[in-house]
Copies of this chain bind each other. A is one copy, B any other.
Amino acid sequence: MQLTKAHAAALQDILTWRRDVRHFRTDPIAPDRIARLRAAMDLAPSVGNARPWRVMQVDTPATRAAVVANFERANAAAAKAYTDDRRRAYDALKLAGLREAPVHLAVFTADNPEEGHGLGRQTMPEMLSFSTVCAIHSLWLAARADNIGTGWVSILDPVALHATLAAPPHWQLTAYLCLGLPARTDDTPLLHRADWQENTATPWQVV
């Protein structure tokens, strides 16, 4: 199939208006919209077609509370790396929308799946988690196209989270995602707007 300039323009809008969202409305997301995000993951690339991603949708309030506590401990520890103005700036950032977001997804990578029969991952075993990241990004873009915001929370202790979720031992945490309607839309990253880190262009050299 030949794609068109309209496809490229639509993708440009989606990429431009995708944000790592921290400010969510609490409105629930209908199950059929979640199902379409799951279907987008089915279309992601994966090494050896192994599809190593495993998703847990975390709905239980007590489990979510444990995730919030995990984040708060990790964030308090992370803050100690900064001093003076940078510490004040860190403390002013909103780094998670765990309390407000109606949908929580823990995304794991199976560390040695039968699927794919090992193809493409002998010299670069990290290709499995990289495949999961491609699936997460597919979900993220499909969510944005449906006006659902996604936030990737990485200030977490992954070992403690694995235990909280009672995940199988051969699964490794790749991401913890919050999804919901965003409080606002923007074409510029929040960390750029907040003067934490401005946008930079992709370094590209020809050799």
For residue A38, CB closer than 8 A to chain B, the reply is yes
Hey, which chain B residues are within 8 Å of A206, CB to CB? Answer: 56-57, 59
Contacts of A60 in B (CB 8 A): 207
| CA A133 to CA B3, docked complex, whole Å | 24
Query: Which residues of A are interface residues toward B (Cβ below 8 A)?
Result: 1-3, 6-8, 10-18, 20, 38, 40-45, 47-51, 53-60, 63, 74, 77-78, 81-82, 86, 90, 93, 95, 115-124, 126-127, 129-130, 133-138, 140-142, 144-147, 152, 154-158, 165, 174-175, 185, 187, 189, 191-192, 196-207
A130–B136 CA distance with the chains assembled, in angstroms: 10
- Take A40-B15, A90-B119, A204-B38 as given contacts and tell me if A144 and B3 are in contact as well, using a CB distance cutoff of 8 Å: yes
Q: Which residues of B contact A48 (CB under 8 A)?
A: 191, 196-197
Chain B's closest residue to A77 (CB) is B122
How far is it, in angstroms, between the C-alpha of A45 and the C-alpha of B144 when the chains are bound? 13
List B contacts of A145 (CB < 8 A). Answer: 3, 7-8, 11
Residues of B within 8 A of A42 (CB): 199, 201-202
